[in-house]
Chain A
Amino acid sequence: MRSEFHAFLKENHKVIAKVCGIYTDNPDDFDDYYQECILQLWKSFKTFRGAAKLSTWVYKVCLNVCLSQLRTKKKRVATTNDFPKDFRDEAENSVEEQLEELYKAIRLLKESDRAIILLYLEDKSYKEMAEILGISVSNVGAKVNRVKNQLKSIINERSGY
């Protein structure tokens, strides 16, 4: 069972990191959320019998963990490194810098909106998003449009446009 779980995690650990990354803004919280996601995945992996698509199931568990774990934001001194150390090395190339900016912008959205934009960016269909979130497909569509526009204006605002 454990080797199966390792194989599964090797395929999906970046998904877990992405979900944790949009809900945390410091390495300590990131580690806590990441560990909790792994633990909950491990616990339910034993009982998971392919009732849902494996990828859908990972998003459900990780979003459930992160949204129910939400902590009060601690006031902290701003650092240049807002990402967990493991998550990237030095932001050398522009893709990484842009990704970092994107994460920062996503973290400015409401918690529920972050889940929606994450699934959108992960190329999930509206049907899958509705299944993961537990809302109607039409509601997903409307929300995606709103959140996308909101994210774009945050990004433009931050980049001075």
Chain B
Amino acid sequence: MKDLDIKKIWQEGNEESSFSYSNDKIDHIIKKNPQNIVQKFQRTVVFEMWFNAVTITGFTIHIAYLQLWVVAALLFILDICLFIYYKDLSNKLKIRYINSNVVEYLNETHVVIKRFMLFYKILTTVLVFPALVYGLYLSESELLDSGKIWTLKFIAFLVVATLLIILVAHFCIYLLYGRKANKIKSIIEMLKSEE
């Protein structure tokens, strides 16, 4: 097949195509929320930011009502710090330049996906151990009452459980976002590779 043939088929075929256009359809589309991965990240982060702000503030007020002033003060500081952190993260997740060239845009998207993944990796790593201990506390385990929780065997169990959960969580994050990040990286490399 000649070059001209392919171009001719492409140009004539697409020219003849009956792909419809309607102003109403377009007006409907531009009212929607963007669905791309980065804007989904941003919405998630903004939702978490406000969810945490409301729940932690509520809990802080409850603790203050119980006159546990030191705990309330610590919670208040945590509340402010988390809010600032989330705000900063949300700003960093913004991609401002959709009109950039393909390589620049994909690079930026890749950085954002990696940043989002790192955020959840840190979050799961930090939260798993306290969550496990708190879970035991809530289940009113006899182990806590009897003090057996601090035996070497049980500490080993906690450590192994923590590591396993972290591993599973990181794997899930990879499945959700890591593969996409790798795919984007490979496209960038393919485009940049000199031939």
Contacts and interface: CB of A to CB of B under 8 A. Distances in A.
Interface in A50-87: 51-52, 57, 60-61, 63-65, 67-70, 72, 86-87
Nearest to A153: B1
Contacts of B23: 6
Size bin of chain A's contact surface:
35 or more
A50 to B, nearest CB: 11
B139 interface: no
Contacts, number: 152
A139 B3 CA distance: 19
A96 B102 contact: no
Interface of A: 2, 5-6, 9-10, 13-14, 17-18, 32, 35-36, 38-40, 42-44, 48, 51-52, 57, 60-61, 63-65, 67-70, 72, 86-89, 95-96, 98-99, 102, 110-113, 115, 121-123, 131-136, 139, 142-143, 146, 148, 151-152, 155-156
Contact of A36 (B14, B19, B35): B35
Contacts of B36: 36, 40, 65, 68-69
14 contacts: A17-B19, A43-B98, A52-B99, A61-B99, A70-B183, A87-B19, A99-B13, A112-B187, A115-B191, A131-B101, A135-B103, A135-B192, A142-B194, A155-B1
Interface string B6-18: 1101111110111
A8 to B, nearest CB: 10
Contact of A86 (B6, B20, B191): B20
A139 B13 contact: no
Contact of A18 (B14, B26, B30, B109): B14
User: Top 3 A-B pairs ranked by shortest CB distance?
Assistant: A99-B13, A134-B101, A134-B103
Interface of B: 1, 3, 6-7, 9-14, 16-21, 23, 26-27, 29-30, 32, 34-38, 98-106, 109, 179-180, 183-184, 187, 190-192, 194-195
A145 B6 CA distance: 14
A37 to B, nearest CB: 9
Given A102-B9, A142-B195, A48 B99 contact: yes
Nearest to B33: A39
Contacts of B17: 14, 17, 87-88, 96, 99
B18 A88 contact: yes
Contact of A133 (B7, B12, B27, B191): B191
B7 A123 contact: yes
A36 B35 CA distance: 7
Given A36-B34, A39-B32, A88-B18, A133 B195 contact: no
A58 B191 CA distance: 19
B57 to A, nearest CB: 33
